[in-house]
Amino acid sequence: MKRREFIILSGIGATSASLLSACGHPEEKLIPAFIPDDEYVPGIDYWKASTCGMCPAGCGIIVRTREHKANKIEGNPLHPVNRGALCARGQAGLEVLYNPDRIKGPMKRVGERGEGKWEEISWDEGIKTLADKLTEIKAQNRAAKSAFIIDDRSLVTAHVVKRLMDAYGAHSFLMRPPFNEVGADSESGSSGALTFDLANATYLLSFGARFLETWLSPVMYSLAYGEFRRSNGKARGKFVHVEPRMSLTAANADEWLPAQVGSEALVALAIAQVIVRENLSRASLSPEFIEALQDFAPEKTNVRSDVPADTVIRIAEEFTAAERPLAIGSRYSTNREWVNLLNVLVGNRDKKGGVLTIPSDNEIPFAKWVPDFGLNHRHDWELRELLEYHSEGAILISQANPLHITPALREQFNRVSFIASFSSFMDETTQMADLVLPDPSYLEAWDIAPSYSPNGRVVAGLTQPVIHSSLNTMQTADVLCAVSREMGGELAAALPFSSTEDFVRQAAVDLAKSSSSIKTENAEDFWNAFSERGVWIREPDSKPASQPVVVEWPAAESLNALDQLKPLSATENGNSLTLTVYEHSTLGYGATSPALQELPDPMTSVIWGSWVEINPQTARSLGILDGDLVEVSTEHGSLRVPAVLYPAIHPNVIAMPFGQGHTGYGRYATNRGANPAVLNPGLKGGVPAKVSKVEGKANLIRFGTDLQEHMEKKSWR
C-alpha cells in the first residue's frame, strides 16, 4: 500500500506539483485518502443524526459528512417536531461550525479589561486558573457572591452548572435569550407543559405569536399551519392575528387587527367579555369572575386598543361558533394567562384542535436530569441587581450574552471581580472576561433535550458530534467536571460524570426503560438505535375528556396591573411614538452567518443591516422619505438608522428588528446595523420614542437593488 501511494504521488509532474503548491499544499490532504481509515471510506457520504442548535426549538437534523468534514445539513424525517423540514437558520449551521472567527482555544486576559489583549494558554492552565480562583473566593467567604449565568440551549450544561453552583454555595441563573418562547409554554397552575394542536384547529386566534417566523418552533408550526389551511374534507381554517405591525405571520392571516402596542391583552379580555355576556362560554364561571370582566367590555377598551368594538364582537362570535377554536399568544405581546382564558371559555383543553396538556407523570423519563432553577432567571432577578450583588465574587457565563441585551450595563460588568466566559465567539460579554474557555459548536458536542410534538407526543432529541473538532475547544460541562475534580471534596462529589457523553448515556438509560418508538433487547442496542435515529418518541397516553372548569378571577394585583396597562399614543404633532422591537426573522444566534445576513427580510427585503419601520402617514408628517437616515431616540439613548416606509404598521408605532448591532461577534456581525436594546434595555414592551430626519447617507441595502455594489465596496471578509 505504501509503495502504491508513493507511485501515485510520484506521478505528479512538475507543473501539477507547482499548482498544488500554489493552492496551499493540498497534496498533504490527499495522503489520508490512500491510507485505510476505520471510520470512513473515501468518497462515500455518511449521514449522522443530531439536533439543531441554531435556536431553542430542537429540530432533528441529519448531517452529511465525507472524509471527516460536514458539508450539508438537512431535517431528520424521523423527528416528529420538524418531520424532515428545516428552516434557514438550521441550514446555516455549517457557517457556525466553520466560522473563521470562532475562538480557537483557551485564553487569559493580559491587558486592561475590554481592551482585547489575550494570551493563549493550555487547557490544564485554564482549568487550574478557574479552580484556583473559585477556591480563593470561597476561602474569603465570597462564594455566595458568585454566580453562573447560562441560557437554556443545553440541558447537560444546565444540569452540571446547577449541581456545581449548589455544592459551591453560589447562585445559578437561567437567562433566556430575547424573545425565546421555549420553556415558557406552560400556564400558571398547569399540571404539565402545553402544546397546541394547530393543524386540527378550525379557527386560529393569535396574539403576537409569530409562529411562521420565530415563535416556539417555527418549522413545527409552519407544517401544522399548512395542514390547518388544507381542506381534506373539512372547511378551510380561518386565521385572525392581533399585532401592531404586519409580520410575515400576520401577512398570512385572513384578518389582521393592528392593535396598539401592549394592548393585545385588552383585546383578549374584550373577546372574553363578549363570550361571557352573550352566554357563549362552555365553562362554568364564578359570579366574581363575571362581575370583574365587565370592566373590559370592547366598548370600554377600544379607545386604548384601537380595535373597533364591533370587530371584537364579531371575532368573539366567530371564535365560539367554530368547531375547533384555538387561541395562542406570545408572552412578549400579552400575558398568556389571558390568552389561555379564551381556550378555557371555549372548552378546547385536551381536545383535537385545542390545547394539549402533557401531564407531569407522562413527561420525558429523564425529567430528573432537568434542573430546577426556580425563580433564579432574568425575569425575577434583574441583570443590574445581579451584577451589583455578585460584583465581589466571580461571574461565569456560558453562551448567554447579556451585554447585547442590556449594553448600558458595561460599567457594572467592569466592576465584577472575576469573569469567565465559555462562549464560542468573542461577543460583547466575552470581551469583558478575564478567562475564556471556549465551547465547541453544537455539531461537535453532546446533549439530550426534551420536546413535544403538536399532537402531544413526548420527544427526546440527541445531540452528538458529527465530526471531530479541529479547534482546541472543550464542552463546558467537561470543563466544569475537570474544575470540580481539581477543587476536590464536595465539588468533586457533586459531578459524578466522566464526560458529557457519559452524562447523556446515563440519561438515555432512563429512556430505554420506557416504552417508545425504539424497542430493543438491551441497553447497548438501545443506545445504538438511539444514536442512529437521533430521536426517541413516546405516544401520548389516552386521557379522559376534559371536565367543566370553574374559572376564578385572578388575584386583585393582577387585575390592577392589567387595568393600568395603557398603550402610548402620539402627541398632537405626531412626533412622540411607541417603539416596538421584534426578533429578526432569521438572525437569532446567526448574526455570525453571512448566508443569514444576506437572506432578505421577508417583509422589507433588507439585508446586511438594520432599519426602522414607519407608517407613510406618520413619515409624511415628519418630512421623512423611504431610505432617509433618521435618528430614533428614547429616554435611554439614540440610534441612527435608515427609514423604511411600511404601510402595514399602526400609525402611532415604529418598529425595529433585534439581531444586529453587535460591537463584537466576528467579522460578519461586528459593527453591522444597530442594536435596539440601546433604546430599550432588556427589550421590555414598547417605549416612548421620537423620530427625526438627520443629515447623512443611509446604508439601506435591499435585495435586488444595490446588492452588487455592496459586495464590491463593503469589506466583510
pLDDT at position 555: 52
pLDDT category of residue 549 using cuts at 50, 70 and 90: low
For residues 354 and 201, is the Cβ–Cβ distance under 8 A?
yes
Place of cell 476536590: 488
Choose the weakest-confidence range: 48-62, 171-185, 373-387, 620-634.
373-387
pLDDT at position 4: 35
The Cα–Cα gap between 146 and 709 comes to 50
The Cα–Cα gap between 691 and 445 comes to 45
**Mean pLDDT confidence for 416-429:** 96
Of the candidates 431, 442, 445, 519, the one whose C-alpha atom is nearest the C-alpha of residue 478 is 445
Answer with the residue of higher pLDDT: 104 or 571: 104
% of the chain with per-residue pLDDT over 70: 82
For residues 161 and 146, is the Cβ–Cβ distance under 8 A?
no
> What's the predicted TM-score (pTM) here?
0.87
pLDDT at position 357: 83
**Mean pLDDT confidence for 681-704:** 90
pLDDT at position 436: 98
Indicate if the pLDDT at residue 190 is higher than 50.
no
Domain locations in the chain as residue ranges:
1-35, 192-357, 577-713
590-622 per-position pLDDT tens digit: 799 999 999 999 999 999 999 999 999 999 999
**Mean pLDDT confidence for 486-512:** 90
Please, which residues have CB within 8 angstroms of residue 477's CB and are 6 or more apart in sequence? 154, 156, 157, 159, 160, 497, 500, 503
Q: If you average pLDDT over each of 1-10, 435-444, 503-512, which comes out highest?
A: 435-444
Indicate if the pLDDT at residue 189 is higher than 60.
no
pLDDT at position 212: 95
pLDDT at position 80: 93
pLDDT at position 641: 97
pLDDT category of residue 192 using cuts at 50, 70 and 90: low
- Core vs surface per residue 386-400: b (16+ CB within 10 A) or e: bbeebebbbbbbbbb
pLDDT at position 132: 97
pLDDT category of residue 667 using cuts at 50, 70 and 90: very high
pLDDT at position 570: 37
Q: What CATH fold (topology level) applies to the domain 192-357?
A: Dimethylsulfoxide Reductase; domain 2 (3.40.228)
Indicate if the pLDDT at residue 71 is higher than 60.
yes
pLDDT at position 262: 85
| The three three-digit cell numbers of residue 575, written as one number | 412626533
Choose the weakest-confidence range: 339-353, 554-568, 570-584, 605-619.
554-568
Indicate if the pLDDT at residue 31 is higher than 90.
no
Architecture of domain 577-713: Beta Barrel (2.40)
pLDDT at position 443: 96
Answer with the residue of higher pLDDT: 551 or 614: 614
Mean pLDDT estimate for the chain: 84
